[in-house]
């Protein structure tokens, strides 16, 4: 059985990454403790950097299910761990670059990093299909 500690770290990092963008959005938007009564309304009304960080947060949460499913299925179906780790690390790096591009408002490059991150998960799933097929 493969060691799964690296896989767990990948999933943990991917799950925590959206919260980094949440913190940036709140800081950039001037979030105050009183705003904690309805933080979603606060974030929905932000503009500029805060709004872009909030959008990066939302997109990061949206991409998580596909990534987690791909990594866990690849691990379960015994895709070589080096392959799983390579695609997993690439996903994390692309998601960080995606977020940076979102924050500095580089839309085209952001979209490229978004696509590359999605392709990491899809590639793992295609490897699972190949193994089971």
Residue 76 scores a pLDDT above 80 = yes
CA distance 84 to 67: 11
The confidence band for 1, taking pLDDT boundaries of 50, 70 and 90, is: very low
Q: pTM score, two decimals?
A: 0.92
* The total number of structural domains that make up the chain: 1
DSSP string, 54-112: HHHHHHHHHHHHHHHHHHHHHHHTT--HHHHHHHHHHHHHHHHHHHHHHHTT-HHHHHH
**What's the mean pLDDT in 69-94?**
95
Range(s) of the domain holding residue 64 = 5-132
- Dihedral of CA atoms 80, 85, 87, 92 in degrees, nearest 10, equals 170
CATH of residue 11: 1.20.120.550
């Amino acid at each position: 059985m493969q060691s799964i500690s690296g896989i767990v770290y990948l999933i943990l990092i991917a799950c925590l990454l959206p919260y980094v963008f949440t913190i940036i959005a709140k800081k950039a938007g001037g979030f105050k403790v009183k705003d904690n009564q309805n933080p979603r309304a606060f974030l929905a009304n932000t503009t500029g950097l805060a709004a872009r960080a909030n959008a990066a947060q939302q997109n990061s949460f949206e991409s998580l299910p596909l990534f987690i499913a791909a990594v866990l299925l690849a691990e379960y179906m015994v895709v070589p761990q080096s392959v799983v780790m390579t695609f997993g690390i690439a996903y994390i790096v692309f998601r960080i670059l995606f977020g940076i591009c979102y924050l500095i408002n580089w839309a085209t490059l952001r979209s490229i990093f978004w696509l590359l991150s999605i392709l990491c998960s899809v590639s793992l799933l295609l490897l699972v299909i190949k193994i089971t097929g």
